Structure 1
Amino acid sequence: MDTSRLGRPLRRHRVALQLCFAIPGLSLATWVTRTPDVRDQLDASTAEMGLVLFGMSIGSMMGILVAGALVARFSTRPVILSGMALVLASVATMAMGTAVSSAPTVTFGLLLLGAGMGLSEVASNVDGAAVERELDRPVLPALHGCYSLGTVAGAVLGVAGAAVGFPVSWHLAIMLLLVVALFAAVVPRLRPGVSRRIKDTDARSAHEATGPVRERRLYLDGRLLLIGGVVLGMTLAEGSATDWLPLLMVDGHDMPAGLGSLVYAGFAAAMAVGRFAGGPMVARVGRPAMLGGGALLTTVGIALVSFVDSPVAAGGAVLLWGLGTSLGFPLALSAAGESGPDAAGRVALTSRIGYVALLAGPPALGFLGEHHGLRAAMVPVLLLMLVAAACAPATASRHRRTAATGTGPTEKPAVPPTPGGDATATGHPTRSQR
């Protein structure tokens, strides 16, 4: 279906959703690229920085856990706007925290950032899924690509600020003005929300799909646990780069702060390329090959960063790291959703496995880095990527159509809900509802 047939409001709405994905990416990358300077401003050790980063992990979990219920009750628009408001508040809080060299204030700012991203990510994905149904073609991959483009833009600005020694607090204050202007462009373009209320039958189906009895059964599903292994490795690899890459380059390879931030910009750019260009490759070679190959590519990248004492090799290896992880999380969640009955429960369980990595990863890597150096701290991530590569065959699709007779399973796999989201809130029915 052509977008022009649906009129100008839909085009305006898509622009708003693109900005809703780009703003968190821009804000997060601004923080990440200045972490070496923030660490110096706070006079924090590597382990203490791990605890500071733990604030964002807690915030993300809080936002993701409540977002699905809020979308079901109030619709997507107010949840998106609330999440964006928290993101803006987080940038202001982090600017204030760095100005007064207060680690607790910066930690609270990161908690707000994580919570705002969790809320807006779930609601924006629900809204994007509705746009997909209107257009009858994929939209979400490009929206996630806009998030990566936001991280690239934030990283470039961060590199420039670090290179000239621009004060972090002023950098964050200027970034606050930019994201406020972008947010002002979102508000009038965003349509009334979708999924205002779940029907009683849908709510019962969602409760049954994620009830304690069936959830215990899912823990005994060997294939689902293998898919969880893929998610665990991919999520930790992406999250460890987001949390630690600039500091890893500065402390582990003696790069200047500006160059360390530039390396993170390269990682973000590689992620963006992988997300925009990966769709056709998945259709060509299949999901297991893409996930397995991506895991091995990431393994090579992390190994070069960890074991080769060359800043040039490390900078190039980060590109492999970014490309390899770019499609890992969404493809693995898609595999979980179609791995058997109770798709909502399967995706929820697999998502929780991924977010355990996000929650435990920053402080664990920080403590390892404090005692053994950040390069050595990446070795467990490398080992988990090998596990992910070994588990990748479990992500093969079970849904195949018999070309000659038209018989056999013809059910089109539903796009999985975002982590913490409600399957019925996305508009994608569970197997029992079809």
Structure 2
Amino acid sequence: MTAAAAPEPSPREIAAGARATYTVFAALGLAGATWASRLPQIRARMDLDPVTLGLLLLMIAVGGVVVLPLAGTVVTRFGPRRTVNAVAVLVGVSLGAVALGYALWTPLVGAGLFLLGTATGFWDVAVTVHAAAVERRIGRSVMPRFFAAFSLGTVAGACLGALMTAWRVPVGPHIGGVAVGIALATPVAARNFLPDSVSRTAGPTRIKAPRRPAPWRDPRTPAIGLVALAFAAAEGAGSNWISLTVIDRHHTTAAVGTLAYAAFLAAVTLGRWLGPLIVDRLGRPGALRAAAAAAAIGVALFALGPAPAGPAGLVLWGTGAALGFPVALSAGADDPDRAAHRVGVITSIGYCGFAGGPPLIGFLADETALAPALLVVAVLMLGAATLAGAARPAPPVPHSPARTAHAVTPTPSASPGEHHAQQPACDRDQ
């Protein structure tokens, strides 16, 4: 049975929507990296030991975990565009609170980080749902490249932070200026998002399929969420602890530690930009297993190897950690009717990696040292590799006329070979 569909966007509108998605992802990355790049100064000013610092980092992740169960409902109700517009302002307010807290009243730093986690929880789901709609219309795996824009934003934020640190620019004005820019610029970019009605459809033709289990009751969705959790912990551990590990282990300056953090983020960006090639060749499960192996080897080299092996470890760790979250969310958004809710579930579970990873490493570091504590990342990567098969496209529902819930309908003149070429690459996973 063919249901009424929203008018299909033109190729120009799809291209504009893709550019807007890249921009919004980059702004989100810039927001997170801006405050993280000044973490050594925040640690020094607040005189934090590893356990206390881990608890401070917990605030941002807890803020995201608290709201993520509601994020799917909110994005479904208000649409990606309006959600992004609202939370961009909230992100600006939260970074402003961090800046004021550093300068005037340190408890405000924790409150600002909690608010930042709350805002980015909604932002993550909204922009990912829109990115999945664009990906379906492009007809191939591009989700990792959207996340590469996020990583590029983090690299820009880290490099800017290194410059601000080297130039001795105070933390407050640096973070506050970025906060204002994000709050003003993001809604301008989001004007080119695809219409909200388009984000909820799979393509030119919609065929109604039988009801599927609710996301929490579908075993595949929580399993994908656990994969996201492991990779989120790997990425979060690198973002939060690499600069401090370099400073403490090798007795370098804060600027050098921040540059090591920027190198890690550059590796993440490279891994995500090359991600579609890897996913197209290996399929989602194979790409996730290869990424997990690279991250595990990389963190071991960085934590235990001699100083010359550190850069190689950073590159392997970063490129390996890069693919997990975008591939998991792309798998969760296969079904456009339930994309917001499934992405919300997967992101909720994944954020537990951001929430639990940094404090866990902080507690372990208090007993041993920071570098050996990072090996928990290698253990998580082993678990992710065992669950990677859940990222395969779901099999067709019995008695469903066709898997058109996430396919691109060919033009009437297309040959069978052309029809196969138009299928999204992620649907050809083995």
Confirm or deny a common fold (TM above 0.5). Answer: yes
Quick check: 2:71–2:125 contact (8 Å CA) kept in 1?
yes
What residue in structure 1 maps to residue 379 of structure 2? 383
1:264 equivalent to 2:261? Answer yes
Quick check: 1:83–1:118 contact (8 Å CA) kept in 2?
no
Q: Distance in 1 between matches of 2:132 and 2:390?
A: 26
What residue in structure 2 maps to residue 296 of structure 1? 293
What is the CA distance between 1:224 and its match in structure 2? 7.2
What pairs with 1:412-423 in structure 2 (closer than 5 Å)? 414=406
What is the CA distance between 1:28 and its match in structure 2? 0.7
1:147 partner letter: F
Of 28, 33, 40, the residue aligned with 1:29 is: 33
Percent same amino acid among aligned pairs? 35
Quick check: 2:155–2:266 contact (8 Å CA) kept in 1?
yes
Quick check: 2:73–2:341 contact (8 Å CA) kept in 1?
no
Of 371, 374, 384, the residue aligned with 2:370 is: 374
Query: Are the structure 2 counterparts of residues 71 and 232 from structure 1 closer, same or farther at C-alpha, using a change threshold of 3 Å?
Result: closer
Of 113, 121, 124, the residue aligned with 2:127 is: 124
Q: Distance in 2 between matches of 1:391 and 1:196?
A: 29
1:245 equivalent to 2:242? Answer yes
Query: Are the structure 2 counterparts of residues 15 and 399 from structure 1 closer, same or farther at C-alpha, using a change threshold of 3 Å?
Result: same
What residue in structure 2 maps to residue 305 of structure 1? 302
Quick check: 1:20–1:84 contact (8 Å CA) kept in 2?
no
What is the CA distance between 1:163 and its match in structure 2? 2.4
Of 256, 277, 282, the residue aligned with 1:280 is: 277
Structure 2 alignment gaps of length 5 or more:
1-8, 202-207, 408-430
1:358 partner letter: F
What residue in structure 1 maps to residue 94 of structure 2? 90
What residue in structure 2 maps to residue 424 of structure 1? none
Of 66, 69, 73, the residue aligned with 1:65 is: 69
Of 400, 403, 424, the residue aligned with 1:411 is: 403
What is the CA distance between 1:362 and its match in structure 2? 2.1
Give me the TM-score of the superposition, normalised by structure 1: 0.78
Of 142, 154, 157, the residue aligned with 1:151 is: 154
1:183 equivalent to 2:180? Answer no
Quick check: 1:127–1:194 contact (8 Å CA) kept in 2?
no
Spell out, residue by residue over 1:341-379, the C-alpha distance to the aligned partner (whole angstroms, 9 max, x if none): x99987666544423222222222212222322112112
What pairs with 1:393-412 in structure 2 (closer than 5 Å)? 395=391, 411=403
Q: Distance in 1 between matches of 2:340 and 2:90?
A: 28
Of 60, 78, 82, the residue aligned with 1:78 is: 82
Q: Distance in 1 between matches of 2:221 and 2:190?
A: 40
1:121 partner letter: D
Comparing 170-179 with 359-368, which one deviates more in the overlay? 170-179
Quick check: 2:92–2:182 contact (8 Å CA) kept in 1?
yes
Q: Distance in 2 between matches of 1:16 and 1:345?
A: 22
What is the CA distance between 1:132 and its match in structure 2? 3.9
Comparing 356-365 with 51-60, which one deviates more in the overlay? 356-365
May I ask how many residue pairs the two structures share in their alignment? 387
Quick check: 2:271–2:323 contact (8 Å CA) kept in 1?
yes
Give me the TM-score of the superposition, normalised by structure 2: 0.78
Q: Distance in 2 between matches of 1:321 and 1:98?
A: 31
Quick check: 1:253–1:309 contact (8 Å CA) kept in 2?
no
What is the CA distance between 1:12 and its match in structure 2? 4.7
Quick check: 2:224–2:346 contact (8 Å CA) kept in 1?
yes
Query: Are the structure 2 counterparts of residues 260 and 354 from structure 1 closer, same or farther at C-alpha, using a change threshold of 3 Å?
Result: same
What is the CA distance between 1:119 and its match in structure 2? 1.1
What residue in structure 2 maps to residue 230 of structure 1? 227
Query: Are the structure 2 counterparts of residues 242 and 63 from structure 1 closer, same or farther at C-alpha, using a change threshold of 3 Å?
Result: farther
Query: Are the structure 2 counterparts of residues 275 and 386 from structure 1 closer, same or farther at C-alpha, using a change threshold of 3 Å?
Result: same
Query: Are the structure 2 counterparts of residues 47 and 78 from structure 1 closer, same or farther at C-alpha, using a change threshold of 3 Å?
Result: same
What residue in structure 1 maps to residue 169 of structure 2? 166
What is the CA distance between 1:307 and its match in structure 2? 1.0
2:271 partner letter: G
Query: Are the structure 2 counterparts of residues 298 and 412 from structure 1 closer, same or farther at C-alpha, using a change threshold of 3 Å?
Result: farther
What is the CA distance between 1:64 and its match in structure 2? 2.2
Structure 1 alignment gaps of length 5 or more:
401-407, 416-434
Query: Are the structure 2 counterparts of residues 259 and 410 from structure 1 closer, same or farther at C-alpha, using a change threshold of 3 Å?
Result: farther
Query: Are the structure 2 counterparts of residues 197 and 33 from structure 1 closer, same or farther at C-alpha, using a change threshold of 3 Å?
Result: closer
1:411 partner letter: R
Q: Distance in 2 between matches of 1:122 and 1:252?
A: 37
For the residue of structure 2 that corresponds to 1:166, the secondary structure is: coil
Quick check: 1:305–1:317 contact (8 Å CA) kept in 2?
yes
What residue in structure 2 maps to residue 421 of structure 1? none
